[in-house]
Amino acid sequence: MQRGVSKLKLALAGLVLLAAFFAVSGCMEAKADDPNMEAIERVLELQFNGPDEEFLEAMWNPANKQIVDGVEVNEAFGRQVDEKYGAYFTDSELDQFMRVFGTYFPGLADIFGYELRLEDVDIELSETVANRYLFTAEVGFQQKGGKEQHAEVEGVVLFSTVQEGKIAKFTYTGDQGLSDRLKQ
């Protein structure tokens, strides 16, 4: 009788592990099959791996800036933005994102001498809004020769209902003090 109970327990444990495996792989497959999640992850990789020297050189270099009809224009930076981010955003949101968030973390990291590294991303589709995603990004950051630190950056992304697969709104909602710690 004892041997039969042990085999039954072992078989049940195997079934539980198998079910857990399929549940986890099903979630991973859903993320891999959702191009919106892939777009969010790619934008976060661009934001939190670097800083990207070519991107920042185009942004900071005064030789790239000129005044046209009373407005500062930086064509080299515009090309970098289009190359790296253009495929993921609607035109209007790309401009808004770059003005508000797109250069913020990479710029701080560059100014204060930090390296950023995207370590992990968790993205969930909203249960109430079909084109709304919530993300949490685990970011490692370190000054040269310093101790690596970590922070979670959270945000919300809305995808366009007109331009399929294009981000219509990208907002950071919290950074666990990352921006303050980069300024130290």
Instruction: Kindly report, residue by residue over 58-87, the tens digit of the pLDDT.
Output: 999 999 999 999 988 999 999 999 999 999
Classify residue 12 as exposed, middle or buried by CB count within 10 Å of its CB (0-12, 13-18, 19+).
Answer: exposed
Whole-model pTM?
A: 0.80
**Predicted pLDDT at 79:** 96
Q: Which residues of the chain have pLDDT under 70?
A: 1-32
**Predicted pLDDT at 75:** 95
**Annotation: CATH topology of 35-52+88-182:** Nuclear Transport Factor 2; Chain: A, (3.10.450)
Domain ranges of the chain: 1-33, 35-52+88-182
Measured on CA atoms in the order 50, 123, 39, 59, is the torsion positive or negative? negative
**Predicted pLDDT at 166:** 98
**Predicted pLDDT at 26:** 42
d(CA 88, CA 40): 8
**Predicted pLDDT at 3:** 57
**Predicted pLDDT at 29:** 43
**Predicted pLDDT at 32:** 61
Instruction: Kindly report, residue by residue over 80-96, the tens digit of the pLDDT.
Output: 999 999 999 999 999 99
d(CA 37, CA 29): 11
**Predicted pLDDT at 33:** 87
